[in-house]
Amino acid sequence: MKNCNEVKKVLISAQEIQIKVEDLAKNVTRDYAGKRPLVVGVLKGAWIFLADLLRKAELDLDVDFICVSSYGNRTYSSGKVDVLKDLTMECRGRDVLLVEDIIDSGITLSHIKELLFFHGAKSVEIAALLSKPSRRKVSIDVKYLGFEIPDEFVVGYGMDYQERFRTLKDICILNEEVYKR
């Protein structure tokens, strides 16, 4: 594994992730059959999850991305969500599937959901690979959830710490020393 000496523990293995994503893709395929959803990925953390999920789903769909920032270089949310890149496609009247890597306080997704309805989305459902329920500040309804995890900062499978570790295949917890640099 790359960056191996900086990883303390594998929390969820690549194989477990693939089994779960397969399962989620089946549910998404079933629920959106006959519709043409607009799938919106939240950059940057959701890009690998989105790519795997959509290649396993058998659907006619459109893809767009939104980029928001609420963490900066820290491991906790500032509580303020800035839209760095908005949608390029029209979402008015569309069934939107919002794809996110991880839900922590819930602030990011509730803000994006509000924005999508403001732009005229007909429906907005959420697919999130991970959730930390103990950290929730805003209640959020997740239709397609991969795993609930404890209150630990995780990296890999698209998720970063200071832009590093995104290409780790497993979801990992880092050694404390990494945060002291």
Q: Which residues bind ligand 5GP (CB under 6 A)?
A: 42, 45, 70-71, 77, 100-108, 153-155, 159-161
Nearer Cβ to ligand 5GP, position 16 or 35? 16
Annotated active-site residue 101? The verdict is no
**Alpha-carbon separation of residue 110 from 101, 136, 147, 161 (angstroms):** 14, 11, 19, 23
Q: How far is the CB of 78 from ligand 5GP (least distance, A)?
A: 9
Q: CA angle at residue 111 from 133 to 159, to 5 degrees?
A: 55
Q: How far is the CB of 158 from ligand 5GP (least distance, A)?
A: 9
Enclosing H/E stretch for 110: helix 107-118
- From the candidates 101, 104, 141, 151, give the one annotated as an active-site residue: 104
Q: How far is the CB of 79 from ligand 5GP (least distance, A)?
A: 8
- Residues whose CB falls within 8 Å of the CB of residue 84, separated by 6 or more in sequence, listed in order: 67, 68, 69
Catalogue the active-site residues.
104
